[in-house]
Structure 1
């Protein structure tokens, strides 16, 4: 794995898309795939999930409502996984984690637990593992659709999602997928991380 692949992604030319356009564009790319793997790499420990009901409940300090919303999503998650399976797709989500976990990461981890219990493939990777790759900047937030396209997800200063940069260079797309796959091999099942680092922690609060 090249130590510079993620720097190349950041520097690569691409088409900058606003958030609605990015989601529509990536949906079309997923529909075009004939099997294969979709990769999601999550690195930041803080995001601002504006418009998400469970996030709004978290910000309001209503943890029971957060968990009620997360639990209510099981059926939809299962349907999404079944649709992916019928298309021959595997969605693999790699979550880089720092210690101690931020309130955001704790909140997200309870959602991820439910996703995993429904059959979603998620693994956790200690941030120390990727430190050698972050001499210039932390890893970018990425979505990679087979060998067709990758998106570097973009955020504003408050870590609110604002869209993505689409990169179509076939070689760079392929090499990025290989790099994430290499990190995946160094990671651990998300539920192992969850039960060790998250489950027994007090209910998180945003300060």
Structure 2
């Protein structure tokens, strides 16, 4: 993807926060957004989900229960979508995906497909298209809130959320928003990707990671 220009990140220019402080800061700032959109970039292919019953069921190997528990999230997603409409904001997500899918990604794509039914706009980018961009390492996990705040989301090696780094320098925020927009514009709608690559798959076998 030759037209992608990703600004370098220097964590010394941001504010490092632990998991609790990152979450509190994120939701406080998200609640203040009005008439501005947000953008998220997801790159890792395995995470450890905390306090997520569906993920716990997936990890136990109970795929049917994992899917049933995802369905239980519909009311919460509906309320969140209603609040976003009041704030006149749209949350865009770019999910980088390698094939064949990891077990985690197979589970997560079911979750994301459900979110897309409730106004989150999600597109999938084939990891193979990022070979040039990622010649020195994978893209970071990022969120740009309302064009004003950039978070680099930090995880442990195992994939457990470990807080974030907040950046507010305008050129850095705008540069990464433009980069995520470029990925988004080159991505595929999740509904089409899901129907072709995810729906036909048998239940995944959870790993021991």
Structure 2 residue runs of 5 or longer lacking an equivalent are none
1:59 Cα deviation from its structure 2 partner = 0.8
1:51 Cα deviation from its structure 2 partner = 2.4
Number of aligned residues: 205
* Mapped contact 2:77–2:118 kept (Cα < 8 A): yes
1:140 aligns with 2:109: no
Question: CA separation in 2, counterparts of 1:10 and 1:185?
Answer: 26
1:106 Cα deviation from its structure 2 partner = 0.1
Question: CA separation in 2, counterparts of 1:32 and 1:112?
Answer: 24
Q: SS at 1:203's partner residue?
A: coil
Q: 1:59 to 1:30 in 2, by over 3 A?
A: same
Counterpart of 1:128?
128
1:135 Cα deviation from its structure 2 partner = 1.4
Question: CA separation in 2, counterparts of 1:12 and 1:70?
Answer: 38
Alignment of 1:68-147 (within 5 A): 68-147=68-147
Question: CA separation in 2, counterparts of 1:51 and 1:107?
Answer: 15
Question: CA separation in 2, counterparts of 1:89 and 1:138?
Answer: 29
Question: CA separation in 2, counterparts of 1:137 and 1:116?
Answer: 29
Question: CA separation in 2, counterparts of 1:15 and 1:161?
Answer: 16
1:92 Cα deviation from its structure 2 partner = 0.5
Counterpart of 1:153?
153
* Mapped contact 1:3–1:132 kept (Cα < 8 A): no
**Bigger mean CA offset, 116-125 vs 87-96:** 116-125
Question: CA separation in 2, counterparts of 1:174 and 1:113?
Answer: 28
Q: SS at 2:135's partner residue?
A: coil
Q: 1:10 to 1:127 in 2, by over 3 A?
A: farther
1:133 Cα deviation from its structure 2 partner = 1.3
Q: SS at 2:37's partner residue?
A: strand
Question: CA separation in 1, counterparts of 2:116 and 2:99?
Answer: 21
Q: 1:12 to 1:145 in 2, by over 3 A?
A: farther
Q: SS at 1:157's partner residue?
A: coil
* Mapped contact 2:103–2:206 kept (Cα < 8 A): yes
Q: SS at 2:132's partner residue?
A: helix
Counterpart of 2:169?
169
**Deviation digits for residues 89-134 of structure 1 (CA, Å, limit 9, x no counterpart):** 1100110010000000000011111111233211111112222211
Question: CA separation in 2, counterparts of 1:33 and 1:103?
Answer: 34
Q: Root-mean-square deviation (CA), in Å?
A: 1.4
Question: CA separation in 1, counterparts of 2:26 and 2:172?
Answer: 17
1:52 aligns with 2:57: no
1:12 Cα deviation from its structure 2 partner = 5.8
